[in-house]
Amino acid sequence: MLKDACTLCADEFEARLEILRRDFLPHVLSSEALEDGHVFEFDLSMREELERLVAFERQCCPDLHWILRQEGDRMRLEIRGLAEELLVE
């Protein structure tokens, strides 16, 4: 389960998931499953929010690789290092 990769306690983890569902998932323009992770693309207008997201997630999920980069008018967020059972289909 994904919470096993995170250092947050159960209540903090659930609160964080709610933030991700509310503030980020509605803005995903495209997504792609990778062998060891997932890629999400967002509009460039999400850059600052995504930078804050990645900074936070690098602290609480240090075993995962959080890669954020601009590609044209989009922001690409790669999350790598997920065990197969953690991957989202």
Digit-coded pLDDT (tens) for 1-36 = 455 567 788 888 888 889 889 999 999 999 999 888
Confidence band of 63 (pLDDT split at 50, 70, 90): confident
Q: Tell me the residue type at 5.
A: A
Question: Are β-strands 37-43 and 74-80 bridged in parallel, bridged antiparallel, or unpaired?
Answer: antiparallel
- Residue range of the domain that includes 17: 2-86
The encoded tokens of residue 43 equal 């509009």
Q: What is the CATH number of the domain that holds 40?
A: 3.30.1360
Task: State whether residue 20 is helix, strand or coil.
Answer: helix
Q: Provide the pLDDT for residue 39.
A: 96
- With vertex at residue 55, the alpha carbon angle to CA 52 and CA 59, rounded to the nearest 5 degrees, is 140
Those residues whose C-beta lies under 8 Å from the C-beta of residue 30, and which sit 6 or more positions away, are: 40, 41
Query: How many domains are contained in the chain?
Result: 1
Both tokens assigned to 21: 């569902």
